[in-house]
Structure 1
Amino acid sequence: MDGSGEAKAKPPQDRLADWLAEDMAAVNRLIRERMASEHAPRIPEVTAHLVEAGGKRLRPMLTLAAARMLGYAGTDHQKLAATVEFIHTATLLHDDVVDESQRRRGRPTANLLWDNKSSVLVGDYLFSRSFQLMVETGNLQVLDILANASATIAEGEVLQLTAAQDLRTDERIYLQVVRGKTAALFSAATEVGGVIADASEAQVRALFDYGDALGIAFQIVDDVLDYGGTAAVIGKNTGDDFRERKLTLPVIRAVAAASADERAFWVRVIEKGDQREGDLEEALAILRRHGAIEAARDEAVAWAARAKAALDNLPASDLRDMLSELADFVVERVS
């Protein structure tokens, strides 16, 4: 890896991409091959819209980095990285239907360009492709980890359906949702990289802990940005979570400290869905009044620190340094 000042100035995910360029090229070839369909051309059309949308491919890079960091020299980690990206893409397709979203990574969503049926069925196809790929590695532990992650992701999404608009939802339930919908795939991505590299049980656990904490920090940051980011940064419209009546960490913190009038406001806009002109601005004023955005930001920073601490149990290397810097970078977006 180039250790020059210019290379060091790049964001850590870009330096990771440079370090893993050969592996990522193989992963991208696999993705293109496996998203093809002889009989249903809409499948590659819909998939390509998301896969080629300029996403950072962060999750598959985590799998590749974990395997390489622990000395893996084969190619099965590439299949696992493609598996992780397919699972991620499938969940995005399904999420956008559930949330009735109109933007993803700054572009119109697939359900908007095509229809809900196409998004759901193509997501199902990608889940199936992901299982074909993971089976090809012949590693039962890998299959167990990724199958469990897929179930946990679905469970987290269903939990969010009932918890998101219920003011009784507390930080424990919020964390359960975040672990399901976001962190489960981060931790599975890093964990299977260690497993395929035949790492020790302690090393695999450290990789799981890193991915879990990184994923939680990542989601909290996204939730904070929804109340203070720009559409260009977050790939969706600011205030989307508010309009979709999602109880995220900043709102949970504000509800916990709410006056009677403030609680009545949250009941109206979140539980009852009676949102009016100026309500988003009022929500922002309440969040600021209670320091809820800053508190959520601090929580994200604490999870990033946990991610970095987990790496202490892994061998020192350039890749480990980049993964550590990645944890800092995730929370820099809100610092």
Structure 2
Amino acid sequence: MAVVVPFEKETASIEAMVRATKADMERVNAMILSRTGSEVTMIPEVANHLISSGGKRLRPMLTLATAALAGYHGDGHVKLAAAVEFMHTATLLHDDVVDESDMRRGKPAARMVWGNEASVLVGDFLLGQAFKMMVEVGSMRALDILATAAAVIAEGEVAQLAAAKNTATTEDEYLTVIKGKTAELFAAACEVGPVIADRPKAEQAAARAYGMNLGIAFQLVDDALDYGGKAQKLGKNVGDDFREGKITLPVLLAFRRGTEQERLFWKRTLVESTIEDGDLETAIGLMTKHSALADTVERARHYGDKANDALALFPDGAMKHALMEAVAFCIARAH
């Protein structure tokens, strides 16, 4: 059983951004391939398993797009975009080990092929390469933004571990977790564009606010899709969050709005990890009953609107339109 979450703008896509950043993304992809090289053959094997597995490269595209929006002329944005993708890939490698995930982007997770140790260590290698590229750009401010993001992402992941199986988690605490583990990299990826273009602080802050709110919307939709999506769209198994005991917004809303008997169900499955056949279907049914999935998507739309509002500071044009389309895509990507 799966409930398809109703999304608006079914045709929303990131094609406008793909077209607008195509030339620079080709340079980014070439740099990614060149920087995964190593005499230790397992390193490029593991890295390329994930890097070449069809990810949209949304975060590096955002770096290129915001640099163009800010009128940047130079090559630094290409290295920073590649660094952002390496940071993201390293996070995925580490996450799959922590979450004991079997699948990533529709294929076996790297840990299932090479083991947990290799996945963690290759993730560390990619982080090292990311920092090398940041240093080469020569912007201390950009380096500070991305280095801070790396620390915040790790904090967010640890905070999620602490919140796991805790049904007393509040919505504010949940938002703090997803700001750290997901939205921070979106924010940093967008902020460094105007920074290396030496734009005013207000534009740097606006780009960061766009990325932060886009990242929150992105994660909210992901959390809804774990219960109301399809495996091929998710790139992982539907219900993974449920099986791992993750307390996400759909769970919080269903738990808070449910009866005492329903809360006992959530405590048995998520807190005590006693999951029986049919429990995922029951969880989806309770979320549907209490509008938890639809309301999670509605929250995502709210943050999407905030992301678009942050762009008001920038002049109208093709790149600004592409960034707004990216917001619509993130919210409508269940289709």
TM-score, normalized by length of structure 1?
0.95
Q: Determine the C-alpha separation between the residues in 1 that align with 2:102 and 2:240.
A: 10
Distance 1:332 1:52 in 2: 24
Are 1:12 and 1:323, in contact at CA under 8 Å, matched by a contact in 2?
no
Letter in 2 for 1:255: F
Q: Deviations over 1:214-238 (max 9, x none)?
A: 0000000011011111111111111
Q: Structure 2 CA distance, aligned partners of 1:314 and 1:15?
A: 17
**How big is the shift at 1:170?**
1.1
Q: Is the 8 A contact 1:224 1:334 kept in 2?
A: no
Quote the Cα distance in structure 2 between the aligned partners of 1:100 and 1:277.
Answer: 20
CA deviations 1:183-233 (Å, max 9, x no partner) are 000000000011011111110000000000000000000110111111111
Aligned to 1:140: 140
* Counterpart in the other structure of 1:63: 63
Q: CA deviation at 1:73?
A: 1.3
Aligned-pair distance for 1:12?
3.9
- Write out per-residue CA displacement over residues 132-188 of structure 1, whole angstroms, 9 at most, x where no aligned residue: 000111111011100110000000000000102101111111101101111000000
Determine if the alignment matches structure 1 residue 18 to structure 2 residue 19.
yes
1:220-257, CA deviations, whole angstroms, 9 ceiling, x for partnerless residues? 00110111111111111111111111111100111111
CA drift of 1:334 comes to: 4.9
Q: Which amino acid aligns with 2:70?
A: L
Map of 1:120 onto structure 2: 120
Q: List aligned pairs for 1:224-303, cutoff 5 A.
A: 224-303=224-303
Shift of 1:126: 0.5
> Using the alignment, how far apart are the partners of 2:12 and 2:280 within structure 1?
32
Q: Distance in 2 between matches of 1:87 and 1:106?
A: 21
Q: Which amino acid aligns with 1:29?
A: A
Q: Secondary structure at the match of 2:313?
A: coil
Question: C-alpha distance in 1, partners of 2:254/2:86?
Answer: 36
* Structure 1 position 288, deviation (Å): 1.3
| Greater relative contact order, per chain length (Cα 8 Å cut-off, separation 6+) | 2
- Provide the rounded CA distance (Å) in 1 between the counterparts of 2:138 and 2:68: 19
Aligned to 1:319: 319
Alignment of 1:79-94 (within 5 A): 79-94=79-94
Does the aligned pair in 2 maintain the 1:166–1:247 contact within 8 Å? yes
> What is residue 161 of structure 1 aligned with on the other side?
161
What amino acid is aligned across from residue 30 of structure 1 in structure 2? M
2:13, 2:328 within 8 Å by CA — same for their partners in 1? no
Q: Deviations over 1:23-66 (max 9, x none)?
A: 1111111111111112x110000000010001110000000000
Are 1:33 and 2:34 matched, yes or no? yes
> Does the 8 Å contact 1:297/1:334 carry over to 2?
no
Displacement of 1:10: 7.9
**Counterpart residue identity of residue 152, structure 1:** V
Q: Name the residue aligned to 1:328.
A: 328
Alpha-carbon distance, 1:11 to partner: 5.1
Identity of aligned residues (%): 50
Provide the secondary structure at the position in 1 that maps to 2:316. Answer: coil
Aligned to 1:177: 177
Q: Does the 8 Å CA contact 2:17/2:326 hold for their aligned counterparts?
A: no
The one-letter amino acid paired with 1:270 is: L
Distance 2:141 2:269 in 1: 45
Q: Is the 8 A contact 1:164 1:246 kept in 2?
A: yes
The whole-number CA distance in structure 2 between the counterparts of 1:300 and 1:15 is: 21
Q: Shift of residue 313 of structure 1?
A: 1.1
Question: What amino acid is aligned across from residue 31 of structure 1 in structure 2?
Answer: I
Following superposition, the deviation at residue 70 of structure 1 comes to 1.2
Q: Is the 8 A contact 1:223 1:250 kept in 2?
A: yes
Work out the CA distance in 2 between the residues paired with 1:295 and 1:19.
33
In structure 1, the residue corresponding to 2:322 is in which secondary structure?
helix
Aligned positions, number: 326
**Residue segments in structure 1 that go unaligned for 5+ positions in a row:** 1-8
Measured in 1, the distance between the counterparts of 2:77 and 2:181 equals 23
State the AA in 2 paired with 1:312. A
The residue aligned with 1:193 is: 193
Does 2:216 correspond to 1:216?
A: yes
Distance in 2 of aligned mates of 1:318 and 1:86 = 27
Look up the equivalent residue of 1:73 and give its one-letter code: H
Q: Which runs of 5+ in 2 are unaligned?
A: 1-9
Q: Distance in 2 between matches of 1:10 and 1:281?
A: 29
**CA positional deviation for 1:258:** 2.0
Counterpart position of 2:99: 99
SS at match of 1:26: helix
Q: Deviations over 1:282-305 (max 9, x none)?
A: 111111111111111100111111
